[in-house]
Amino acid sequence: MRIALFTETFLPKVDGIVTRLRHTVEHLQRNGDQVLIFSPDGGLTEYKGARIYGVSGFPLPWYPELKMALPRPAIGYELEKFQPDTIHVVNPAILGLAGIYYAKTMRVPLVASYHTHLPQYLHHYGWGILEGLLWEFLKSAHNQARLNLCTSTAMMQELTSHGIERVDLWQRGVDTELFQPHLASQEMRRRLTQGHPDSPLLLYVGRLGAEKEIDRIKPVLEAIPNARLALVGDGPHRQALEKYFAGTPTNFVGYLTGVDLASAFASADAFIFPSRTETLGLVLLEAMAAGCPVVAARSGGIPDIVTDGVNGYLFDPAEEEGAIAATIRLLAHQQERETLRQNARKEAERWGWAAATRQLQNYYKAVISHG
């Protein structure tokens, strides 16, 4: 199959969407499919055999890591040369509108997928009043697709409740070869705890954005004697968070990748994830694959991954003390923590990227065969 993939974010940016797309493109190409990627220009022209057509854009003022790339006629010429069997638009917003337009004009079956819970994000950036308008835009864009894929059952229900049709599940995936418990090391603990490897180590990995509600970790940190916090990642909210966590034993690590990231997960005592806006929370699966016990908000797509008391702990995000109680419980019972680690790894092993990509290929074949 020949797949034209439109995405509003791709390499060199680092986030959960890019992680999913990287593995998906790699497995599609490996299986003999051809992928052409349209994304904001990041300086790359190829990834794992797939050609990248970078579209120049400008950074969003409130989120400079994200580029807004405007559609242009050259995209149409590239598609005509490529002759795709299907067009897949990831998070249709700006560039994705070109994918929708050309799918219609070229009569190519359209697949769309929903990864970022933008209507909820608006509330964290002072634009909550526009939520209804954004849902109308999303409904209009997604309902032009033959199939709309979501990464969790919670998001399937959310989209359906807002009038989006033909919704199905794109199963989760994680790199269980990279993220492994045996990568735990004292050296990494020393690095993350800034020289205090014997202290309880709390970890957060992900974008440092207001919508991630990282400030909610501070009371957890303060409630646990001698605990240290490592925040791995970067984003537009970093400066505000550095002020907010000033005076606490918090290490702003910046980005980690590859084995370093896997070792960070495996070396921590608890992975704290307070976000209420997750469509899935791919980073949770990475933590679980590395055997890092998870304490996460019971919200969005997270309960699809974490079973409370079995492979991690969930807390009610409306309760101030919920995350504190769950983390204290986790750290206090070593045997229980070990059981959680083992169960978390077992859960992650069920969700390889090869299986997730095979499922996606079957979806593509279905929309193509229906003309």
Q: Are 115 and 96 in contact (CB under 8 A)?
A: no
Structure tokens at 287: 């933590």
Q: What is the DSSP letter of 84?
A: -
Give the model's pLDDT for residue 275: 87
Per-residue pLDDT tens digits of the chain, which is 371 residues long: 999 999 999 999 888 899 999 999 999 999 999 999 999 999 999 999 999 999 998 876 666 666 778 889 999 999 999 999 999 999 988 899 999 999 999 999 999 999 875 656 554 556 567 676 877 888 999 999 999 999 888 889 989 999 999 999 999 899 999 999 999 999 999 999 999 999 999 999 998 988 899 999 999 999 999 999 999 999 999 999 999 999 999 999 999 999 999 999 999 999 999 988 776 778 999 999 999 999 999 988 899 889 999 999 999 988 879 999 999 999 998 899 999 999 999 999 989 899 999 999 999 999 999 86
Please, which residues have CB within 8 angstroms of residue 274's CB and are 6 or more apart in sequence? Answer: 212, 213, 214, 216, 217, 296, 297, 317, 323
Do the bridges between strand 46-47 and strand 50-55 make them parallel or antiparallel, or are there none, so unpaired? antiparallel
Report all structural domains of the chain as residue ranges with CATH numbers, in order of start: 2-173+352-369 (3.40.50.2000), 181-349 (3.40.50.2000)
Q: Which residues on adjacent β-strands are paired with residue 203?
A: 230, 271
Q: Are 135 and 118 in contact (CB under 8 A)?
A: no
Give the model's pLDDT for residue 123: 47
Give the model's pLDDT for residue 133: 80
Structure tokens at 293: 């016990």
Give the model's pLDDT for residue 241: 98
Give the model's pLDDT for residue 62: 61
The values of phi and psi at residue 154, to 5°, are -60, -40
Which segments of 198-312 does DSSP mark as H helices, in order?
218-223, 238-244, 258-267, 282-289
Q: Identify whether 12 is preceded by a cis peptide bond (ω within 30 of 0).
A: yes
Tell me, rounded to whole angstroms, the distance of Cα 216 from its chain centroid. 19
Give the model's pLDDT for residue 233: 96
Please, which residues have CB within 8 angstroms of residue 358's CB and are 6 or more apart in sequence? Answer: none
Neighbouring CB atoms inside 10 A of 198's CB total 10
Strands (E), 57-200: 57-60, 63-69, 86-90, 110-114, 147-150, 167-169
Read off the pTM: 0.83
Per-residue b/e over 71-91, b at no fewer than 16 CB within 10 Å?
beeebeeebeebebbbbbbbb
Q: Give the torsion sign (CA, 274, 277, 283, 287).
A: positive
Give the model's pLDDT for residue 154: 86
CA-only gyration radius of the chain, Å: 21
How far apart CA 35 and CA 13 sit, in angstroms, is 19
How far apart CA 200 and CA 215 sit, in angstroms, is 19
At residue 171, the 3 state secondary structure works out as: coil
How far apart CA 339 and CA 19 sit, in angstroms, is 28
Q: How many residues does the chain have?
A: 371
Q: Give the torsion sign (CA, 157, 158, 164, 167).
A: negative
